[in-house]
Chain A
Amino acid sequence: DAKTTQPTSMDCAEGRAANLPCNHSTISGNEYVYWYRQIHSQGPQYIIHGLKNNETNEMASLIITEDRKSSTLILPHATLRDTAVYYCIVRVQSDYKLSFGAGTTVTVRA
């Protein structure tokens, strides 16, 4: 159930901002946008989520377009430890099912 579309991979320079796009053109009004990342050989880690307003926490910022059909996860100062697969997911908060797509493989280079 591919509700989101993400680029397969992207590179980023260490110390620069990494901007990860996600398209979710069929998102419904009560669906949130969630971001997770999975560092190699570890379980996925929750990053951030939002409904329609932009959100920021200690890890990242989430920018959601006004029509909510796309969003961007921003890692403000990428480090080598940010190298991971980043997953964008849309779901209603009451939806028990949590499914992941292919994600974007982000490689941060020195």
Chain B
Amino acid sequence: SQTIHQWPATLVQPVGSPLSLECTVEGTSNPNLYWYRQAAGRGLQLLFYSVGIGQISSEVPQNLSASRPQDRQFILSSKKLLLSDSGFYLCAYSGGQAEAFFGQGTRLTVV
């Protein structure tokens, strides 16, 4: 069966520190991968999506970057976090069945 792993569940980071969130998918090949952010009380904002290794599409200009070093691995990074980067970060994948499946999310607080 297909599963998606996202970690850590919660993270508190100081302003100016780097960030690395990792997402891995099991049980499927060549998935489409997504990173979303949800600020407190707000909707889901699509940040990045990837249709293959090394292929990243960015939806909004921001302080974040994404990479896909392996088929089932998607990484969200920042060199220097801002207070405005706080939020709930979600990784998702979709495969041949077209519907998307989400991880449990990482709640990031930048202090």
Which of A's residues lie within 8 Å of B, judged by CB? Answer: 32, 34, 36, 38, 41-46, 49, 87, 93, 96-103
Query: Would A43 and B46 be within 8 Å (CB), given that A96-B32, A96-B51 are in contact?
Result: no
Q: What residues of chain A lie closer than 8 Å to B90, measured between beta carbons?
A: 43-44
Give which listed residue, A34, A43, A93, contacts B102 with CB less than 8 A.
A43
Report the minimum CB–CB distance from A70 to chain B (whole Å). Answer: 21
Cβ contact within 8 Å between B46 and A46: no
Q: Give the A-B pair count, Cβ closer than 8 A.
A: 50
Residue of B nearest to A103 (CB): B43
Q: Are A97 and B100 in contact (CB under 8 A)?
A: no
B66 vs chain A, min Cβ distance (A): 14
The answer on a CB contact under 8 Å between B49 and A34 is: no
- Nearest residue, chain A, Cβ from B44: A100
The A interface, classified by DSSP as helix, strand, loop or mixed, is loop
B105 contacts which chain A residues (CB < 8 A)?
A: 41-43
A contact residues around B107 at 8 Å (CB): 41
Judging by beta carbons under 8 Å apart, are B100 and A46 in contact?
yes
Interfacial chain B residues near A102, Cβ < 8 Å: 43
Give A49's nearest chain B residue, CB to CB.
Answer: B99
Contact with A along B9-51 (1 / 0, CB 8 A): 0000000000000000000000010101000000110100101
